[in-house]
Homo-oligomer: A and B are copies of this chain.
């Protein structure tokens, strides 16, 4: 094992046992090992355990090993309830958590079986990669990502703080929610946008090639996540279908109302209906947290950049020289043109100075 790059304060006490040595399990192992925590691994597949161990995520659990203080279940969602129940039985003194992306179904199933859940609290680190497996694992996979912990009134403080210690040691930002709140929240802000983006992109399939030339930044942004893996998403959506369907039904009603207003655009009230629905969209997008969780909106400046290596770096360096803090950046390329646009978001109060200073330095701003 390589030495830790920084001096860490480690919150986790005792050893940690990880069941399921895929992307999440192996990443948790790697991150905790970096902090000097003893990690043991277990997986249905001995090869997967050996691979994760090779990467430094921990070592296979041996018969005579002392009991872990924390067990982390990192298996696919459909077996989580089984594995959590068996972990609670096998390690009665350990705190058990799982990291599945859906939280209500396994909790309900465990309750139904009458399992004593005193030592269990479910959690969900909002991190992932496009491809899975221990081979893709990273010690810093969870850095700066939200880690949801689903306690209830009965969760003892000691159990909660054990799982919080894992999340904090791995660099995550703690968020506390009930399983219902969690599933509804990810349904709304992650699962539904995925479905809508995929179905919007699907509408591009029958379009003539010519139409694609008029595609700009709007449609590209709106459909970017439509490139996601269908197999993975069938699992996620299937395990959280209820809250997703509820939002989709409301959304369908909105789209139908909108289409009906457009169909009869000359009828009295139609234009107002269209405008009102779009104004609701303005309100909705303002609710999304921006940088550092604030809902602050920025002013954007578009700068033309020659499409050659180094130009964007030069622009950003000059922005730094000018003392202008860039809050966000988006790039856009025009089809067929050897030029690009950098859309820079800055605080409204510096926007005018930024434009003037950049223009003085020879940049073309829009």
Contact = CB atoms under 8 A, between A and B. Distances in A.
Interface of A: 126, 129, 138, 140-141, 143-146, 148, 173, 175, 177, 181-182, 184-186, 188-190, 192-205, 207-216, 218-228, 230-231, 233-234, 237-238, 241, 244-245, 247-252, 254-256, 258-259, 262-263, 265, 271, 274-293, 297, 304, 307, 309-310, 312-313, 316-317, 319-320, 323-326, 328-331, 333-341, 364, 366
Contacts of A144: 304, 334, 337-341
Contact of A214 (B185, B238, B284): B185
25 contacts: A126-B214, A144-B334, A146-B336, A173-B334, A173-B335, A181-B211, A185-B213, A188-B203, A193-B223, A194-B218, A195-B255, A196-B255, A200-B251, A201-B282, A202-B254, A202-B284, A203-B254, A221-B224, A222-B225, A223-B281, A226-B284, A233-B278, A238-B262, A238-B265, A330-B330
Contacts of A184: 211
Contacts of A258: 195, 199, 248
B219 A189 contact: yes
A226 to B, nearest CB: 4
Contacts of A195: 255, 258
Contact of A205 (B214, B287, B340): B287
A173, A228, A245, A297: residue with the most chain B Cβ atoms closer than 10 Å: A245
Given A288-B220, A336-B292, A146 B262 contact: no
Contact of A364 (B140, B145, B237): B140
Given A189-B212, A213-B293, A329-B331, 7 more contacts: A173-B335, A190-B216, A190-B219, A196-B255, A197-B222, A223-B288, A309-B326
A203 B247 contact: yes
Nearest to A256: B252
A280 to B, nearest CB: 4
A275 B329 contact: no
A103 B291 CA distance: 40
Nearest to A257: B199
Contacts of A141: 366
B281 A226 contact: yes
A177 B291 CA distance: 42
A324 to B, nearest CB: 8
A275 B245 contact: no
A310 to B, nearest CB: 4
Can you list the 7 inter-chain pairs with the closest CB atoms, starting with the nearest? A198-B281, A201-B284, A144-B337, A313-B316, A293-B335, A185-B211, A202-B280
